[in-house]
Amino acid sequence: MSDVTLKHITKRFRDVTALKDVSFEIEDGEFFVLLGQTGAGKTTTLRVIAGLEQHDEGQLLFDGEAVDNLTPADRDVAFVFQQYSLYPTMSVYDNLAFPLRSPLRKTPEAEIRQRVQSAAEKLRINHLLDRKTAHLSGGEMQRVSIGRAIVREPRIYLMDEPLSNLDAKLREALRVELQHLQKTQGSTTLFVTHDQVEALTMADRIGVLDQGRLVQVGSPDDIYDRPATTFVAQLVGTPGINLLPATRQNGSLVVKDSSIQLLKQSGSDKVPNDFILGVRPEDVQPTPDGDFAGEIRLIEPLGVETILHIKSGQQSLLSIVTGMASWSIGAPVRFNIAGDRVHYFSNNGKRVS
């Protein structure tokens, strides 16, 4: 396994700049997740590292050595695609053996058999080895795709949204297994996704991409608790963060057109007069003697928890409470906000702290 460094990578397609000056480092044995929306440049980054696209500027290093001019085959990376990468004309066994049979490696058949078996066991697909891939379910196919990556020992695993075409239950199960596998093998992995849950739950570190730029790199805790911009704040967490227009008045922080008024908090000194207050739904808690007043507009019971849509003055905000206690629509409600856990953003979306 290797560490991978991207230095000022820029990639253009005709007149579109897909990546703008992207720099980050993936440490040996790290599970690094690139998170971003469609078109943010996540997959392009992956393809540049794999050598399937050539970057226009910048440098790409594996273990400190430049690999910019190596072919995909010579870079020795493993790529797990979102879909369509199993060869339909071959059996599962032949698919798994395919990378080992490449002219670069020329592995003896005995060793191939042993490595395919061991990869199949790790992914619980031994019973599928003789099947044609066309007869597999979505979850099985994606296991085989992952298997094809782990039969050899590449310098890095590159995974392009491998779970996004699976149904929810399967995604949950495979996510846990992937994490377990990666942690117990200590393999360097770059995982690309648009799903914030996947990023938070699996990553050692997350890099957030927005329109070809790297906005923030940090641990899941950093991203969730200290989002660098309102964009990042909105990207992670379900339901999404409440972003409320607010002003400073005589030392207290007042949310416009509402009853919400927080006393001066430590860390709010640099906050401008007009700003955006960010409050995670779990930090809005209804209590009978709460400081603020509002009205319940909508209730969404999810089972383990319930989302309340609260209207306070002209502002709507979401609160998440445990259980499925009975609330009624239209009823007045009092609530508190955890003042020490709120976020401050300037009006241009940058975090203030």
**Beta carbon nearer to another protein, 303 or 332:** 303
Q: How far is the CB of 254 from another protein (least distance, A)?
A: 26
Tokens found for residue 33: 């997740």
Query: CA angle, 188 as apex, 139 and 128 as ends, to 5°?
Result: 25
**Beta carbon nearer to another protein, 21 or 172:** 172
**Beta carbon nearer to another protein, 50 or 254:** 50
Q: How far is the CB of 248 from another protein (least distance, A)?
A: 28
- Write the interaction track for another protein spanning residues 227-246; mark x where CB under 8 A is met and - where it is not: -------xxxxxxx------
**Beta carbon nearer to another protein, 237 or 286:** 237
Query: CA angle, 25 as apex, 22 and 30 as ends, to 5°?
Result: 135
The interface with another protein within residues 11-40 (CB under 8 A) comprises 37-38
The interface with another protein within residues 126-165 (CB under 8 A) comprises 148
Cβ pair 239, 205 in contact under 8 A? no
The interface with another protein within residues 326-345 (CB under 8 A) comprises 329
The interface with another protein within residues 167-226 (CB under 8 A) comprises 167-169, 172, 175-177, 179-180, 183-184, 194-195, 197, 200-202, 220-221, 224
**Beta carbon nearer to another protein, 54 or 249:** 54
Give Cα separations from 215 to 25, 86, 351 (angstroms): 14, 34, 12
Q: How far is the CB of 183 from another protein (least distance, A)?
A: 5
Distance (Å, whole) CA 41 – CA 47: 10
Tokens found for residue 96: 């798994």
Cβ pair 182, 198 in contact under 8 A? no
- Write the interaction track for another protein spanning residues 265-294; mark x where CB under 8 A is met and - where it is not: ---------------xxx------------
In this structure, what are the phi and psi dihedrals at residue 90, rounded to the nearest 5 degrees?
-115, 160
Q: Is 300 in the site for another protein (CB under 8 A)?
A: yes
Q: How far is the CB of 89 from another protein (least distance, A)?
A: 4
- Residue choice 1, 18, 40, 78 for contact with another protein (CB under 8 A): 78
Which residues are within 8 A (CB) of 271 and not within 5 positions of it... i.e. 6 or more apart?
A: 248, 253, 344, 352
Helix (H), strand (E), coil (C) string for 7-38: EEEEEEECCEEEEEEEEEEECCCCEEEEECCC
Q: How far is the CB of 190 from another protein (least distance, A)?
A: 13
Distance (Å, whole) CA 20 – CA 17: 7
32: left (phi over 0), alpha (psi -120 to 50) or beta: beta
Judged by CB under 8 A, the stretch of 58-66, 210-218, 250-258, 301-309 that binds another protein is: 301-309
Cβ pair 282, 320 in contact under 8 A? yes
- Residue choice 31, 32, 62, 81 for contact with another protein (CB under 8 A): 81
Q: How far is the CB of 316 from another protein (least distance, A)?
A: 10
Size of the site for another protein (CB under 8 A): 71
Q: How far is the CB of 303 from another protein (least distance, A)?
A: 4
Q: Which run of H or of E encompasses 111?
A: helix 109-122
Q: Is 263 in the site for another protein (CB under 8 A)?
A: no
Distance (Å, whole) CA 146 – CA 180: 14
Judged by CB under 8 A, the stretch of 2-10, 75-83, 257-265, 269-277 that binds another protein is: 75-83
